[in-house]
Amino acid sequence: MNASPVIFVIFGGTGNHARKNLIPIFYKLYRNGSLPLRFEIVGLGRSEMSDDEYRSKLFADLTAFSPSVVQTPECWKDFSSRVSYLKASIENPQTYFDLRERIDAIDIGFGEIADRFYYLSVPVHFAAKAAKHLKCAALANRAGHDKIIGEKIMVEDMVG
């Protein structure tokens, strides 16, 4: 069975949770053959950097925080070739046009429209704005295929 392709978009892709938890988990899933054969990860963050700079930072964090996860440079190279970075501002509507272009290009490479998971690894007030913009930009409107995952919403709502 050939699973549908998947695009994982990480808002807060340069943050601690993404670097110390999400990327190591995705890498372990990849190594174990638990991700679809066709997947891409797009990290979004406020910093200016290239895809290669982002991948280098992720590898440095992976070896620092999860050294037992790293197997071989070849394995990381194949995994990281599916990882890209997009400078983004959650409050800027242009971000969602840029993201749409990136996702469309990935879909063209896959030869079909991928399922999408938007992981909001950001403070709750930004998560709500991101979810609204994703819906308005028609990036998360396909029931059963597009999912928005909020990391901090319940905890911050309960505490606040």
The average confidence (pLDDT) of the chain is 88
pLDDT at res. 3: 82
Cα separation, 82 vs 80, in Å, equals 5
Neighbours of 104 (CB within 10 A): 11
pLDDT at res. 152: 58
pLDDT at res. 74: 85
pLDDT in tens, 47-94: 999 999 999 999 999 888 887 777 678 888 999 999 999 999 999 999
Cα separation, 40 vs 7, in Å, equals 5
pLDDT at res. 43: 97
43-47, 110-114, 128-132: segment of lowest average pLDDT: 128-132
pLDDT at res. 156: 39
Residues 61-65: contacts with CB within 8 Å, 24+ apart?
61/19, 61/20, 61/23, 62/23, 62/24, 62/27, 65/19, 65/20, 65/24
Tell me the pTM. 0.89
Cα separation, 131 vs 153, in Å, equals 12
* Polymer length in residues for the chain: 160
Domain covering 6-159 assigned CATH 3.40.50.720 in the classification:
yes
